[in-house]
Amino acid sequence: MLEKKNLDYERVVLVGVITTTQNEEKSHEYLDELEFLTYTAGGEVVKRFTQRLETPNPKTFIGTGKMDELIQFVEENEIGAVIFDDELTPAQQNNIEKILRIKVLDRTTLILDIFAQRAQTSYARTQVELAQYEYLLPRLTGLWTHLERQRGGIGMRGPGETEIETDRRIVRDRIALLKKKLETIDRQMSTQRSNRGALVRVALIGYTNVGKSTLMNLISKSEVFAENKLFATLDTTVRKVVIGNLPFLLSDTVGFIRKLPTQLIESFKSTLDEVRDADLLLHIVDISHPNFEEHIASVNQILGEIKSINKPTIMVFNKIDAYTHQTIEDDDLMIEKTSRHFSLEEWKQTWMNRMNGDVIFISALNKENIQEFREKVYKKVREIHITRFPYNNFLYPEIEE
């Protein structure tokens, strides 16, 4: 499945439940994503455990029988950590740790850990550290602090061991301090943003790993880090871009994910302000991903949370080079046609209608349709620009489509 070059990858087991609201296929896809997250964090998934349950068990997430299976597997296979595909309550976390006596992580800790690993600037590190401490505070329990924290690896990056061994009061003080530090930086950032003048602001947004940074590099000739792992970008990059004489600001920022921890959304306030302040959003979608429609929904949900859902938006469907779809033989009347069977052309029609034409299909990697993409962006930016500078309307000719 995923390429694994590093022999030091920590051996982990994934655990998920198949609930009544999500079918088996969905839960497999969720576990695929959890596996990708694990791989990004430096883990190798040795086995997945799933259980059908109406709702997760309030004490141990999974039932007793499944837990026995898990205990046995963990003991026999040198497993370093167990990762649950949901947020564990402090009680569940505590109980499961007592039973398994190895590292117990949930989806949120895993995402926080990746953010901690990837944070480059002191600003990003401060934001992640704050989110980690806030998640940690209700979960500080005796066993967890002295047993699990002594080991390294996934889930253990970020707050240092000495702090962890102390009590909640110290964690609370640290949270207060980090908040103060962030407030100062937030103020500086917002001054910086207001100093950028009246140029139109365009933000690349979308699910993680869809190609935002690749597109940024292509359009702005910058060198933003892009790779096939989740959350390659944490810090925002802003570049001045000129298309056909018309200058505007383009920003590349952190990608979104399903169930993005709320602590992260809150502490990444300033980073997300870049989105909030944008005049135009380019919502990038990886159309080659089987779950891309759900990705769009997750992104829209987060946009709603940060009050940015009603901005002018161009939907940019990327990775058309990698798009595949299921086909139905002409004589097969048993198969019902679903969106999984759509050709690219059908998707184009669907989205053109939905977005009133503000849609483009591209491949950033193969540079397909990039000229059309630039024209689409130009047209939209121009519309916004001339409302701001009506007098230099004539400078920027309308282009025919």
Contact set with ligand GTP (CB under 6 A) = 206, 208-214, 226-228, 230-233, 255, 318-319, 321-322, 363-365
CB of 118 to ligand GTP, least distance (A): 9
Q: Compare residues 18 and 111 and give the one whose CB is closer to ligand GTP.
A: 111
Nearest Cα to 103, choosing from 64, 156, 175, 176? 156
Question: Phi and psi (nearest 5°) for 17?
Answer: -110, 150
Q: Using CB positions, name the residue nearest to ligand GTP.
A: 255
CB of 10 to Mg ion, least distance (A): 25
**Helix 168-194 and helix 269-276: axis angle, to 10°?**
30
- Separation CA 124–CA 137 (nearest Å): 20
Q: Compare residues 317 and 378 and give the one whose CB is closer to ligand GTP.
A: 317
Q: Compare residues 96 and 364 and give the one whose CB is closer to Mg ion.
A: 364
CB of 94 to ligand GTP, least distance (A): 32
Nearest Cα to 6, choosing from 204, 326, 229, 284? 229
Residue 211 near which of Mg ion, ligand GTP, none (CB within 5-8 Å, type-dependent): ligand GTP
CB of 355 to ligand GTP, least distance (A): 20
The token pair that represents 51 in the structure block: 């259980």
Q: Compare residues 70 and 234 and give the one whose CB is closer to ligand GTP.
A: 234
Residue 319 near which of ligand GTP, Mg ion, none (CB within 5-8 Å, type-dependent): ligand GTP
Q: Using CB positions, name the residue nearest to Mg ion.
A: 233
CB of 358 to ligand GTP, least distance (A): 19
Residue 40 near which of Mg ion, ligand GTP, none (CB within 5-8 Å, type-dependent): none
The β-bridge relationship of strands 246-252 and 313-318 is unpaired
Query: What's the chain's length in residues?
Result: 401
* Residue at token pair 């207060």: 176
Judged by DSSP in three states, 33 sits in helix
Q: Compare residues 122 and 228 and give the one whose CB is closer to ligand GTP.
A: 228
The token pair that represents 271 in the structure block: 């980073």
- Separation CA 75–CA 72 (nearest Å): 5
Q: Compare residues 206 and 261 and give the one whose CB is closer to Mg ion.
A: 206
Residue 231 near which of ligand GTP, Mg ion, none (CB within 5-8 Å, type-dependent): ligand GTP
Nearest Cα to 273, choosing from 188, 337, 388? 188
Q: Compare residues 200 and 224 and give the one whose CB is closer to Mg ion.
A: 224
Amino acid at 133: Y
> How many of the other CB atoms lie within 10 Å of CB of 288?
17
- Separation CA 189–CA 191 (nearest Å): 5
CB of 231 to Mg ion, least distance (A): 8
Q: Compare residues 277 and 321 and give the one whose CB is closer to ligand GTP.
A: 321
The token pair that represents 346 in the structure block: 């059908």
Binding site for Mg ion (CB under 5 A): 212-213, 232-233
Question: Phi and psi (nearest 5°) for 14?
Answer: -100, 145
Nearest Cα to 388, choosing from 311, 279, 310, 309? 279
Judged by DSSP in three states, 224 sits in coil
Half-sphere exposure (CA, 13 Å, Cβ side) for 354? 11
Q: Compare residues 62 and 282 and give the one whose CB is closer to ligand GTP.
A: 282
